[in-house]
Amino acid sequence: MGFPFISLRDWIDHLGSQGLLAENDQRMRLRNDISALSKQIADKGGPAVLHTDVEGHPGWRLLHDSLTDKHKQAIALGIDDKSFVREFAHKLAQGPGMPPVVVDKAPCQEEIFTGDAIDLTMLPLPMTTEFENPPYITSGIQLEKDPASPWVNMAIRRMHLKSPNSFCGLYSPLTHGGIIYKRYMEQGKEMPASVVIGVDPVYFMLSQLPAGPGESEASYWSTITGEPLQVVKCLTNDLYVPAHAEIVIEGKIDLTTRVFEGPFSEFPGYFSGCYRLPLFRATAVTMRTDPIYYYLYQGREPGEGHQISRSMREATTFSVVQKAVPELADVAVLSSGSFTTAMAIRKGSNRPGLVRHLAEVAKGHHLGRLIKNLFVCEDDLDIHNSTEIMWALSSRFQGERDILLINDQPGCYLDPSAPSLGRGQSTKTACYIFDCTEALPPYDEPYTRGTAIPKMTPAAKAAYDRILS
Amino acid sequence: MKASVTPEYRERMLEIFKNRSWLDQNVDSIKSQYKGSWIVITSERVVASGAPTGGDAVAAAGSDFDPETSLVFLVPGDISQPF
């Protein structure tokens, strides 16, 4: 068994066979135990964890951190982790793949609950922070279809449980979910939606793909796997969900009611504010007979969600920007979504205006909307290593000469440092471009002497390997 | 074994829903009284408040704090509505 993985179970089996999975049969409480363990794994590294004894939920298993590092992500995507960004970007550049195959009978519909039988307390929902109450669904991928086109957007969004059959979620202005939501509002219609939990790793990662407007993220599943995605029609709306998912919550969003929600431990690392948000009313819950819940830590980075989002943004940004700026060699998202990003250009690319051109293309594209700090370096550095970027900032950058400020940019709705522009609007932010490349003439003379670094020798390498082993 | 939730855990969740629903319905008046403080809600009423941390409110609540079902909440100054 190997790539591609069509279900979460296939993925778990493979991780187990590679020594990348730990099974835990000790009872875990839902408040803090699981979230704190997940944070430790993200901070220090570690395997995916499958819990088999979860407080109050007999028969359930719960998985987390199956995609927290690039090594596991690369296995899931069928690429080499040493050339992750380029290989993944190459796959994405092929565009949407073959259409999905609709099946009549699906594992995700082995158990069906409708009407009064719907009970979301059945889900083993970890509470991420000390005072989170009621819990959030943090790994639910919500599907919502544009009312006027075939576009189906999918996104992981926070879902705050409100009752056994309802929750509310945040639609940020300027996001695709927000755009579709607004269209239903303008038409005065309820918005049908389905939430999928526990899916194969490619589908899970695609939920974080910053696709273009009108582009369905799921259409890239077959581009990556080479096979069509198997889907099944939901029972109470017209959306199609992965047939091999663990859990599906079908429902509709009442756009006229607002429910008090928050605060939530959001990805920029602070609790968000409180909001009045629309209510998702479940019309059906379907699942496997022995379902596996997937937990995704949310809060201050690093966490699994940050790492997935980082990889997706690196590859898509590389794919798009390199078409306009062929000198682009690498992209690294360093922090929070893509707030802080580094780009490498090929060493010795001294086309006048290149850095500014690159920065303007990167920032001008929809993928660059969230960038607040952009470090442009040369590819003699590993830009995925913050220490190397700090070195370039120290030794190649002069503030008076090498900084560019772009003011009055639309920012991230959840950025705690950015002022809100009001209801239905985003926030206002600024973007700094740091030119950390070696200076062009007449400032280049010190750089012609070269960097001061010893040459690796076979004996030194052998000694290093011996000492570390 | 078929996946399920124990009756005890479900009861606990329903009590949490009740407390949260009560907060949702009364947040405007609570905001005017406790803005910027942490409060503890047990059995659909505010039983204590404290600052600057949630722990201070929990300490003030004493035995009125139920670790399984009480709501500990920082009362916001502003409630936004994205749309």
The DSSP string of B9-20 is HHHHHHHHHHHH
Q: Which residue of B has its CA nearest to A421?
A: B82
**Is residue B44 over pLDDT 80?**
yes
Residue A162: list chain B partners with CB under 8 A.
Answer: 17, 20-21
Judge: B3–A161 Cβ closer than 8 Å, yes or no. Answer: no
- CB contacts under 8 A, A 291-350 vs B, are 291
**Could you give the C-alpha distances from A190 to A180, A253, A464, B81, in angstroms and in order?**
12, 6, 63, 18
B76: nearest CB among A171, A185, A273: A273
**Dihedrals φ, ψ of B71, to 5°?**
-105, 125
Judge: A122–B13 Cβ closer than 8 Å, yes or no. Answer: no
* Separation between Cα atoms, residue A48 and residue A73, nearest integer Å: 12
The answer, yes or no, to whether ipTM is higher than 0.85 is yes
Using a CB–CB cutoff of 8 Å, tell me whether B7 touches chain A.
no
Q: Which residue has the tokens 């996104």?
A: A155
Q: Rounded to a whole number, what is the distance in Å from the CA of B24 to chain A's nearest CA?
A: 5
Which tokens go with A374? 């952009």
Judge: B4–A57 Cβ closer than 8 Å, yes or no. Answer: yes
Which of A61, A131, A253, A421 best probes binding to B when mutated, by most B CB atoms within 10 angstroms?
A131
**DSSP letter (8 states) at residue A6:** -
Q: Which residue has the tokens 């830590």?
A: A297
B4: nearest CB among A58, A172, A275: A58
pLDDT at position A256 is: 86
**Dihedrals φ, ψ of A297, to 5°?**
-65, 135
Please, are residues A343 and A361 in contact by the beta-carbon 8 Å criterion?
no
Q: Of the candidates B59, B36, B35, B29, which has an alpha carbon nearest to the alpha carbon of residue B47?
A: B59
Judge: A122–B3 Cβ closer than 8 Å, yes or no. Answer: yes
Q: In what order do the strands lie in the sheet with A48-51?
A: A21-24, A48-51, A61-64, A292-294
pLDDT at position A56 is: 98
Using a CB–CB cutoff of 8 Å, tell me whether B78 touches chain A.
yes
**Could you give the C-alpha distances from A388 to A69, A364, A377, in angstroms and in order?**
20, 26, 10
Judge: B82–A122 Cβ closer than 8 Å, yes or no. Answer: no
Extended strands (E) in B1-83: 38-42, 45-50, 71-74, 79-80
The model carries a pTM of 0.94
Judge: B82–A57 Cβ closer than 8 Å, yes or no. Answer: no
Question: First-to-last CA distance in chain B?
Answer: 44
Residue A158: list chain B partners with CB under 8 A.
Answer: none
Which tokens go with A151? 């576009």
* Separation between Cα atoms, residue B57 and residue B63, nearest integer Å: 12
Q: Which residue has the tokens 């929990």?
A: B58
Extended strands (E) in A97-165: 101-102, 111-114, 136-137, 141-145, 152-156, 159-163
Using a CB–CB cutoff of 8 Å, tell me whether B34 touches chain A.
no
Please, are residues B76 and B35 in contact by the beta-carbon 8 Å criterion?
yes
Which tokens go with A247? 């859990």
pLDDT at position A380 is: 94
| pLDDT tens digit at each of 469 positions of chain A | 799 999 999 999 999 999 999 999 999 999 999 999 999 999 999 999 999 999 999 999 999 999 999 999 999 999 999 999 999 999 999 999 999 999 999 999 999 999 999 999 999 999 999 999 999 999 999 999 999 999 999 999 999 999 999 999 988 877 899 999 999 999 999 999 999 999 999 999 999 998 888 999 999 999 999 999 999 999 999 999 999 999 999 999 998 889 999 999 989 999 988 999 999 999 999 999 999 999 999 999 999 999 999 999 999 999 999 999 999 999 999 998 789 999 999 998 888 899 999 999 999 888 888 899 999 999 999 999 999 999 999 999 999 999 999 998 888 888 888 887 777 677 889 999 999 999 888 888 889 888 898 999 999 999 999 999 8
Q: Rounded to a whole number, what is the distance in Å from the CA of B43 to chain A's nearest CA?
A: 14
The residue type of A178 is: G
Judge: B4–A122 Cβ closer than 8 Å, yes or no. Answer: yes
Helix pair angle (A33-44, A304-324), 10° resolution:
40
Judge: A57–B8 Cβ closer than 8 Å, yes or no. Answer: no
Using a CB–CB cutoff of 8 Å, tell me whether B59 touches chain A.
no
* Separation between Cα atoms, residue A420 and residue A416, nearest integer Å: 9
Using a CB–CB cutoff of 8 Å, tell me whether A273 touches chain B.
yes
Using a CB–CB cutoff of 8 Å, tell me whether B20 touches chain A.
yes
Q: Rounded to a whole number, what is the distance in Å from the CA of A439 to chain B's nearest CA?
A: 45
Q: Rounded to a whole number, what is the distance in Å from the CA of A68 to chain B's nearest CA?
A: 27
Using a CB–CB cutoff of 8 Å, tell me whether A259 touches chain B.
yes
Q: Rounded to a whole number, what is the distance in Å from the CA of B79 to chain A's nearest CA?
A: 5
Judge: B82–A130 Cβ closer than 8 Å, yes or no. Answer: no
Using a CB–CB cutoff of 8 Å, tell me whether B13 touches chain A.
yes
Q: Which residue of B has its CA nearest to A110?
A: B2
Judge: B79–A119 Cβ closer than 8 Å, yes or no. Answer: no
Please, are residues A128 and A297 in contact by the beta-carbon 8 Å criterion?
yes
Measure the CA dihedral A97/A102/A103/A107, to 10°: 70
pLDDT at position A145 is: 95
**Could you give the C-alpha distances from B7 to A85, A125, A298, A466, B11, in angstroms and in order?**
48, 16, 28, 57, 6
Which of A132, A133, A256 best probes binding to B when mutated, by most B CB atoms within 10 angstroms?
A133
Residue B3: list chain A partners with CB under 8 A.
Answer: 57-60, 122, 287, 289-291
Using a CB–CB cutoff of 8 Å, tell me whether A181 touches chain B.
yes
CA A219 to chain CA centroid, nearest Å: 17
Q: Of the candidates A395, A398, A359, which has an alpha carbon nearest to the alpha carbon of residue A380?
A: A395
pLDDT at position A424 is: 67
A275: nearest CB among B3, B12, B81: B81
**Dihedrals φ, ψ of A183, to 5°?**
-65, -40
What pLDDT, in 10s, does the model give residues A251-309? 999 988 899 999 999 899 999 889 999 999 999 999 999 999 999 999 999 999 999 99
DSSP symbols for A100-118? PEE-SS-GGGSEEEEGGG-
What pLDDT, in 10s, does the model give residues A344-368? 999 988 888 999 999 999 998 888 8
A235 burial class (0-12, 13-18, 19+ CB within 10 angstroms)?
A: middle
Count interface pairs A-B at CB distance under 8 A. 111
Question: First-to-last CA distance in chain A?
Answer: 31
